[in-house]
Amino acid sequence: MLRRFSLLLAIALLTSLSARAQDLGNKFEVFGGYSYMRVNNPGFNTNGWELSGEYKFADWLGGVADFDGHYGSPSGVSTSIHTFLFGPQVSFPARISPFAHVLIGAAHANSGGFTDTGFALAIGAGIDARVAGPISWRIIQGDYLPTHLFGGTENNARLSTGIVVRF
């Protein structure tokens, strides 16, 4: 009984999002998913999440707020890096929709009890593919993500994938 109710609730929610998306003309977009980041200095891999929201000023131009968290343990030291980025994104609105962005903001790192906050930048692009109604799959998003932390510059790379909902 609970499964049927949950399924019915999910269908109603997706239907209402689709109707709302048509009313608003798809002005808002939310992305959430898995993210991998290669930290350059010292070289190690991290796994985490990425969440972003976009407001579309036009079909092809939007403003993005992007947040992520990446976690790893290089040499046994627990490390986390979070970025808070904002900027413009251009896209080609279609069933398969490529996009590119330049985002500027801050990064915060915690490594072995030491913390630092500094400048961060993301220059990247990706491809979204519409699945059904307001739901798309962000097949891939790749970013060059330099950060300035602990007195040095790290030239990082970030790859992400996940679900996009437009409303």
Residue 151 clears pLDDT 80, i.e. is over it = yes
Q: Among 6-15, 31-40, 84-93, which is the least confidently predicted range?
A: 6-15
User: At residue 131, what are phi and psi to the nearest 5 degrees?
Assistant: -100, -55
- So what's the pLDDT on residue 13? 52
26: Cα separation from own chain's centroid: 18
pLDDT band at 12 (very low <50, low <70, confident <90, very high): low
Does the bond joining 74 to the residue before it have cis omega, within 30 degrees of 0? no
Domain annotation for the chain: domains and CATH numbers: 2-166 (2.40.160.20)
Per-residue pLDDT tens over the stretch 102-150: 999 999 999 989 999 999 999 999 999 999 999 999 999 999 999 999 9
The string over 23-59, giving b where at least 16 C-beta atoms fall within 10 Å of a residue's C-beta and e elsewhere, is eeeeebbebbbebebbbbeeeeebebbbbbebebeee
3-state secondary structure of 25: coil
